[in-house]
Amino acid sequence: MPVQPNNPMPPDPRNQDEEAPSSGRYGSEVGSDKSLMERVRVREQQAMAEIFDRYAGLVYSVALRVLKDSSHAEDVTQEIFFQLWRNPDSFSSSRGALATWLLVVARNRAIDHLRQRRPGVPVDEVVAESATNMQSEAERSIMMERVRGIIDDLPQEQQRSLQMAFFDGLSHSEIAEKTGQPLGTVKTRIRSALTSLRKRLEQ
């Protein structure tokens, strides 16, 4: 699906039979949710695409847990991000984190779809289960946003090494080969980055 003026979101290549984990871009080019939403409010499509890339997996997971149908879960996911693009003021940072707001909207929208598909069928059990799962998803997403912010503050060399080790899945030896840096240097950079990350998370 190409990016069109009325469709700022990239195609979602997820396997429809699986719940996708949250995806995201790590590095100095990734802005905070607040700055991304400011750019969305001035109709910057790239910012909307980054938000979709960051949170589509989480939104889809919540919708899928409620609906038990990948096609309907994808529809809900698309609806929510189109709503945010058309009306970015529907989200206010005073209500909390963007990730939490998106997951609440996803759950509510999925429940509405479920009731439309199965009118008269109680959904209390599904709602209770999804609420528990949604809480853990929201907490994980908020933590990942904190981690992104901390990584953005690291020296560029540490950022790159940490990204390749933990987000690209490369071994220390593979990173050294790819970057042309000595293995000891790579290990030191990753160790220093992890130390900084741990200290910041403990604050």
Q: Where are the domains of the chain?
A: 1-136, 154-203
Under-50 pLDDT residues of the chain: 1-5, 13-31, 123-129, 132
How many Å apart are CA 143 and CA 17, to the nearest integer? 27
Q: Looking up tokens 């609806």, which residue turns up?
A: 79
Q: Can you give the pLDDT at residue 145?
A: 66
Q: Sign of the C-alpha dihedral, residues 85, 96, 36, 198?
A: negative
pLDDT tens sequence across 30-53: 348 888 999 999 999 999 999 998
CATH 1.10.10.10 fits 154-203, yes or no: yes
- State phi, psi for 168 to the nearest 5 degrees: -100, -10
Of 6, 20, 4, 26, which is closest to residue 163 (Cα–Cα)? 26
> For residue 59, what pLDDT is reported?
87
pLDDT of residue 139: 62
pLDDT of residue 39: 93
Dist CA 113 CA 169 (whole Å) = 37
Topology (CATH) of 1-136: Rna Polymerase Sigma Factor; Chain: A (1.10.1740)
Fold agreement between 1-136 and 154-203: no
Give the residue among 192, 202, 135, 136 at the shortest CA–CA distance from 165.
192
Summarised one tens digit per residue, pLDDT across range 120-138 is 555 444 444 455 455 555 6
